[in-house]
Amino acid sequence: MKLRWKLFSIILGLVGFILLGILIVNSVYLERFFVREQKEKLLEIGRVLTDPSYVVDLQNIEMHSNVSISIKKTEMLNQFEKSSMMSRSEIDDIKDLLARGKMIFSEVRFLDYRGKSLILFIPYRNDMYFEILSPLNFLEEGASASTKYNVRIVAAIFIFGCLASYIFSKKISQPLVELKNIALRISKSDFSQKFNGKNHDEIGELGRTINKMADELENNITEIHNKNLMLEKDIEHEKRLEKMRKEFIANVSHELKTPIAIIQGYAQGLSEGVVAAEDMDFYTSTIMEESVKMNNLVQELLLVSKMESDHMEFHMQPVDYYPAILEFIRRFSRDNKKIVYTGPEAIDVVCDEKYIDRVMNNFIVNALKYSTEHSDIHIVVTEEEDSFKFSVENETDRLEKEDLKDIWEPFVRKDKARDRDGHGLGLSIVKGILEHHGSRFGTDLNAKTVSFWFKLPKAPPFEDEATEAGE
């Protein structure tokens, strides 16, 4: 059974129990109450009659009190036995009490219009008594009318009580039902519904507590969800790195296997004297070339390790990087593939020039390697408010946007068939260098033009320039 109907049943039952009690008391005790009140009235009249200080007007008392007052001799009591209204023992008891000067009540039923009556016998003098008679018919009629009236009142009150019980139970249960629905939504991780009641009682406090609990749960669940997403990304990233490391180890093992075998074979041939004098230079130059390749690979591995352990030292200082760009143009320009520069002729930035040279060298070498045939490489430097933006751009038909997603990660080579000289560490090293410079960097691909870019902060004005400006 729902709470509303439980409350309705309890309240209605309580109202019905009270009304039923009123009806029982009314029907059982109302007449007795009237009789008791009438006896008090008759006793008051009796005290007036027997008080010698009062001047009694019997006719006036009878008219206003609706009683009949008579003075009779004691022998007149025998008439009640003759008319069978009293027994002999009852008459004897009345005579005995009168003789002792005591008042006594008796209820008798007359066969005439008087019907059931209440009589008060009061002792008088010389073997005489006062008889005060009060008919009880009107009391019975009054009690019956009162009972009927009260039944109607009780019925009306019961109907009103039903309506009031329903409204009252609904008013009490409504916020509880609302709280139940809110709790049900919370159990389903829906925190949109709030308790808006203005109650200042325990129900209102409970509602506000549930609202606070819902807010805290929502914040905690959101925080846990965000942390789970970050954890999933980290796990996925670690899996991808682990896969690339395994691929890298396999590639490095393969790449080391060939030069080691060459060096071993050629060195063995030289040591055993099986090499002709005219081939000696070829054998030694090959051993040197393969040794250089191995040394380069080891150096790159050591550099990546230093970056990951944050053991690299950078010496930041103001430099004009324009001469370095001119040197790159002189070194890498070819007849069929030129390096074209666009930008200012003074590029004053703060950086470690040695490492920024490595960044530019990597970008230009990659541009030359992946650019389409007979297309130029463009170096573009743009002056911004507080920095310079360096871009190396080239046309390519071998890259898609999907290829740029993890291009900065270590051990990644997009074209393993053509990139035999690389080890997939170049852009990872570039990323570490730029991060240590606090530089923003990235890659853009628009149509067939790919751009690798980074930013360096402007150098403060030199002291002599600042002085000249002040003068």
| pLDDT tens-digit readout, 58-109 | 788 878 778 888 888 888 888 887 777 888 888 888 888 888 888 888 888 8
The whole-number pLDDT of residue 467 equals 42
Check whether residue 232 and residue 367 sit in a common domain. no
What confidence category does residue 466 fall into, taking pLDDT thresholds of 50, 70 and 90?
Answer: very low
The token pair that represents 274 in the structure block = 């099986």
Residue 218: predicted pLDDT: 81
Task: Say yes or no: 282 and 321 in one domain.
Answer: no
Q: Is residue 171 part of a domain?
A: no
E strand map for 78-216: 104-109, 116-123, 128-135
Name the band, by pLDDT with cuts 50, 70 and 90, for residue 465. Answer: very low
Instruction: Verify that 18 and 118 share a domain, yes or no.
Output: yes
110: domain CATH number? 3.30.450
Q: Quick check: 371 pLDDT over 80?
A: yes
DSSP string, 182-212: HHHHHHTT-----------SHHHHHHHHHHH
Identify the pLDDT of residue 462.
Answer: 59
7-33 pLDDT, tens per residue?
Answer: 667 777 777 777 777 777 766 666 677
Per the domain annotation, does 57 fall within a domain?
yes
Say whether both 253 and 321 belong to one domain: no
Mean pLDDT to the nearest integer, 301-306: 72
Domain range enclosing 256: 194-311
Number of independent structural domains in the chain: 3
Domain assignment present for residue 180? The answer is no
Using 50, 70 and 90 to split pLDDT, how confident is the model at 350? very high
Please tell me whether residues 133 and 217 are part of one structural domain.
Answer: no
**Does residue 174 sit within a domain?**
no
Burial label for 434, CB within 10 Å (0-12, 13-18, 19+), is buried
Regarding whether 400 and 287 lie in a shared domain, the answer is: no
Q: What's the CATH code of the domain at 343?
A: 3.30.565.10
Whether residue 436 sits in one domain with residue 331:
yes
Q: How confident is the model at residue 3 (pLDDT cuts 50, 70, 90)?
A: low
Residue 16 sits in the same domain as residue 133? yes
Last residue of a domain, one of 311, 338, 355: 311
Q: Is residue 173 part of a domain?
A: no
* Residue 276 sits in the same domain as residue 329: no
Residue 423 covered by a domain: yes
Taking alpha carbons only, the member of 306, 255, 258 closest to residue 422 is: 255
What gap in Å lies between CA 98 and CA 50, rounded to an integer? 13
Residue 337 forms part of a structural domain: yes
d(CA 150, CA 420): 111
In this prediction, what percent of the chain has a pLDDT beyond 70? 86
* Pair (306, 324) in one structural domain: no
What per-residue confidence (pLDDT) applies to 383? 93
Last residue of a domain, one of 88, 116, 146: 146
Is residue 65 domain-resident?
yes
Residue after which a domain boundary falls, among 268, 285, 311: 311
* Beta pairing, strands 377-383 & 339-342: parallel
**Are residues 69 and 85 part of one domain?**
yes
Q: Nearest to residue 43, comparing CAs of 98, 96, 106, 104?
A: 104
122 in the same domain as 69: yes
Of the two residues 272 and 438, the one the predictor is more confident about is 438
Q: Which of 52-61, 155-164, 177-186, 378-387 holds the top average pLDDT?
A: 378-387
pLDDT category, 412, cuts 50, 70, 90? low
pLDDT at 470: 45
